[in-house]
Structure 1
């Protein structure tokens, strides 16, 4: 890749490089290295997100402005309590365009940070993480978000016949995860019902209750006999 033909004026406009043509201190050496190799720089500010990528052999700067339906600070704060979902809209496209991405934010307690997942690109990993929480309410929330995403994609597939195959592939991914979540929910409910049933038996089974009482009475009698023997 060529680096001497960088779109310096555009890079200055967005604060990626300074007037002396050095890169911003906000970017690490690794960030700069990846950026020059075609990786995307992401800048977040409240509900807004901007992405920057060099194209055409590093001679053009591709800029995309996105908007969340929630502020980033709100997402990060609430993610410590439960998984947060947000829709990200591409502001460079019209409302009629296919311009929505759904993200999930999960707090990683081990590393003390919130991690972002794409509900399609990271669907397998995201489903596994949520299922591992063993929380039926959280599974229900996830299932609802997947269903809304599927409905959105289904509405779009007829509008964009030229990319219908790609949209259909995304719908298939979401559908498979919906099926997985349904199976997991059923299995978790059965397990919970089994646990509750065992608890009920332990508390209400008259024979078991009386057996337990007899064991306790026998133990008390043995203790009394030991005390008498020691006298």
Structure 2
């Protein structure tokens, strides 16, 4: 684990590191260790999300801005009553890229925490959890969300054949889960094993999001001024 080549200035810009070079007090010792080990910090604010991850042997900070179709507060509240689904768009990617993800938010009654699952990356785990509920309504809602995601991916493939290989991989996963759900609907005794393949360090700190969003706006303003300046040259 490399710590002597950290991108300190970038970490300061986003409030992860304080001016005195210490990590933010909002991060626990465990949070910091996970972050240095490659885990992602997630900062949520209303419909917006910013993620922070150290890459290239901890020498560079990768920042990604995302936008949801729903407020995080309503998602968390609704998930206590039923599994809640949300679509999220990666604002750093163009329309000819896979810039769309669908998430499921599941309330764990034992820990009283809401756990986020990706319908592609965590497909098997999510299917197992929903199947274990043995709730026909939840199973049908999940199937509908999978079908909507499948339709989206198929449309994307038709529009942008140059990324067909990447889309096909996700499409195969979604199709397989639809088949599994169909089997579960016919045979309630079928219960896949449950597990988790991905873990994120979810700080959910709006201050971190605001810092990141402000920085991005400043960069956009600078680029816009440069473009205008170039446009007046003869």
- Structure 1-normalised TM-score? 0.75
More helix by share: 1
Q: 1:159 to 1:2 in 2, by over 3 A?
A: farther
Query: 2:64 matched to which residue of 1?
Result: 64
Worse overlay, 122-131 or 161-170: 161-170
Aligned counterparts, 1:207-218, within 5 A: none
Deviations 1:33-60 (A, max 9, x none): 2222322211122211111112233222
Q: Tell me how large the CA RMSD over aligned residues is.
A: 1.7
Shift of 1:163: 4.3
Give unpaired runs (5+ residues) of structure 1.
189-231
Structure having the higher Rg: 1
The count of residues paired between Structure 1 and Structure 2 equals: 188
Query: 1:177 matched to which residue of 2?
Result: 177
Shift of 1:70: 0.9
Give unpaired runs (5+ residues) of structure 2.
189-234
Counterparts of 1:143 and 1:19 in 2: how far apart (Å)?
Answer: 49
Aligned counterparts, 1:119-130, within 5 A: 119-130=119-130
Counterparts of 1:58 and 1:138 in 2: how far apart (Å)?
Answer: 41
Query: 1:167 matched to which residue of 2?
Result: 167
Q: Is the 8 A contact 2:46 2:71 kept in 1?
A: yes
Counterparts of 1:12 and 1:124 in 2: how far apart (Å)?
Answer: 38
Query: 1:37 matched to which residue of 2?
Result: 37
Question: Highest relative contact order (Cα 8 Å, sep 6+), 1 or 2?
Answer: 2
- Structure 2-normalised TM-score? 0.74
Q: Does 1:24 align with 2:24?
A: yes
